[in-house]
Structure 1
């Protein structure tokens, strides 16, 4: 485009450079897709730091140039520079202004304790100052919004993984990114770099949010698998419900993304199949024990199977188990009838144990006491159910427990007297 920077005054000094692909000496100074926007030329540049002020001058036949791109402010000497003498990033510029003197105007660009001062012989310093100010503010606004969104995403990740209430945090993150877009699309912002950064940030934050839900679903699945193997009903149901809810939330998140990662979608379905698998295994075990409860003749087996059925279904109900899948449907709505059958089976087993204990009194009081103590266990289990389900009167069990305690005391007295 330009064989030397000296050609710029007639085309771009003080104006926005509209060329799509700068070449020559300007291009060699740029990074990536960086674009030059304004150029000023002067005899020299003053560079101020906290310690001293240095004057940068080219040889007598050339100029010193201040080039403003859509990302940086550069100072170069001569028409064919191989490198910049000074550079400020626009995001770090704290002030850009024109100081008007009697004989000349001076552009001042400050970056903290450092400053560039150029009195241009060519170009429009006011336009350059305005552009730098607008861009610096836009960069600051975008950076602040991205930082805030990133910090909130970290908090959001923790909330998701810990199963806490998310509230409006996700909406707040989206609001921050929306504010960043507004700053990046200002009519005086002549660059796509900010918008591209916002889009890449949003993509990365969305992926972190998705990954947090995947992690929660996987962690809950692992806990469910361990609980299933150990026949721990409440931990299993709680973990299963957490995994199922996480997958539902994850699908909602993916449906709201313009281009959800394909590998994540595949991972979600794989995890969903595994979650469905443990649910089916739990339901199948519950059905099996229910069938044994209804088919068994022995009072002990019937009571044990009904109690397990009740505990399994109750654990699912308390965990908030909900599903529309037939293969993982549990009779949660029938908990009252299950509780009633369980209490009845426990009572019949307790009655059988009391009769066996009474028969054993004459021959072996130790055996009789064992029967009575086992009956106490059955009655207490029945009483626990009655206290939470409207299937009986807890007071009647208090009377039975008192009667059994008397029988146990008799066996202890008789055993001690032999």
Structure 2
């Protein structure tokens, strides 16, 4: 089974275990990632919206000519972090976590399917690959709706920055969504305010601050 954690409505004093813990599990539990906690991969100017997990089912990727299936080993899990800019797809393994970053500007389709006990988030990318992420069912539709809206907004920014045919456009080439930080403050503010379904009216999760050293994101000093 998997779980979806809505960080917009998180009330704990610390981040959930799926974001901050590493290492294998114990006799009756499963660990998360092996190399470093998921939150360490979130950049300072990102806002975490949701965290998706599954224990053993991993992530399936279907391309034009091939398919792959990345599964966690017996002591770890799959953790997918949804921020206002990216999907961080992390599969825990003793020999090194599998990591993939998906910029929302490259997402062209999102679907959610739910069964009685589990759900699946399916993400289509502009490169022709499809990512199937098994997870829980609670808030699954809200995750899909958020990703559709946020991805559409980032694609619109990308398109607006491309030179138009017969003219210079904005005078420069298109740049990836991750490089638009200083040029799209209005969009970023709008994305932080995206409200979805039954969650409308809630405040987005704040970017964790304080705690760990280095250039990566830091643990919260308190909420």
Q: TM-score, normalised by structure 2?
A: 0.56
Residue of structure 1 in register with 2:171 after alignment: 154
1:51: how far off? 2.1
Matched, 1:13 2:5: yes
Equivalent of residue 125 in structure 1, options 123, 127, 140: 140
CA contact (8 A) 1:14 1:39 kept: yes
Higher strand residue share? 2
The 1:73–1:48 alpha-carbon spacing in structure 2 relative to 1, beyond 3 Å, is same
Q: Which has the higher contact order (CA 8 A, sep 6+)?
A: 2
| 1:180-226 deviations in Å (ceiling 9; x for gaps) | 9468525307599xxxxxxxxxxxxxxxxxxxxxxxxxxxxxxxxxx
Which stretches in structure 2 are left out of the alignment for 5+ residues? Answer: 21-36, 173-182, 196-203, 207-223
- Whole-Å Cα distance in 2 between the matches of residues 106 and 65 of structure 1? 13
- Whole-Å Cα distance in 1 between the matches of residues 187 and 42 of structure 2? 26
CA contact (8 A) 1:107 1:118 kept: yes
The 1:85–1:137 alpha-carbon spacing in structure 2 relative to 1, beyond 3 Å, is same
- Whole-Å Cα distance in 1 between the matches of residues 99 and 155 of structure 2? 25
CA contact (8 A) 1:96 1:110 kept: yes
In the TM superposition, structure 1's runs of 4+ consecutive aligned residues that sit over 6 Å from their partners are 79-82
1:133: how far off? 0.9
The 1:81–1:110 alpha-carbon spacing in structure 2 relative to 1, beyond 3 Å, is farther
1:111: how far off? 0.7
Residue of structure 2 in register with 1:28 after alignment: 40
- Whole-Å Cα distance in 2 between the matches of residues 182 and 13 of structure 1? 24
The 1:55–1:123 alpha-carbon spacing in structure 2 relative to 1, beyond 3 Å, is farther
SS at match of 1:154: coil
Across the two proteins, how many residue pairs are aligned to each other?
A: 162
1:82: how far off? 6.5
1:68: how far off? 1.0
What does 1:270-349 align with in structure 2 at a 5 Å threshold?
none
CA contact (8 A) 2:7 2:48 kept: no
SS at match of 2:162: helix
Equivalent of residue 60 in structure 1, options 58, 74, 90: 74
Residue of structure 2 in register with 1:41 after alignment: 53
1:86: how far off? 2.4
- Whole-Å Cα distance in 1 between the matches of residues 5 and 160 of structure 2? 33
1:26: how far off? 2.2
- Whole-Å Cα distance in 2 between the matches of residues 33 and 181 of structure 1? 14
Residue of structure 1 in register with 2:217 after alignment: none
- Whole-Å Cα distance in 2 between the matches of residues 81 and 151 of structure 1? 48
Which stretches in structure 1 are left out of the alignment for 5+ residues? Answer: 1-8, 156-176, 193-418
CA contact (8 A) 1:70 1:191 kept: no
Residue of structure 1 in register with 2:110 after alignment: 96
Structure having the higher Rg: 1
Equivalent of residue 144 in structure 1, options 151, 156, 159: 159
Residue of structure 1 in register with 2:29 after alignment: none
Residue of structure 2 in register with 1:188 after alignment: 194
CA contact (8 A) 2:6 2:139 kept: yes
Residue of structure 2 in register with 1:261 after alignment: none
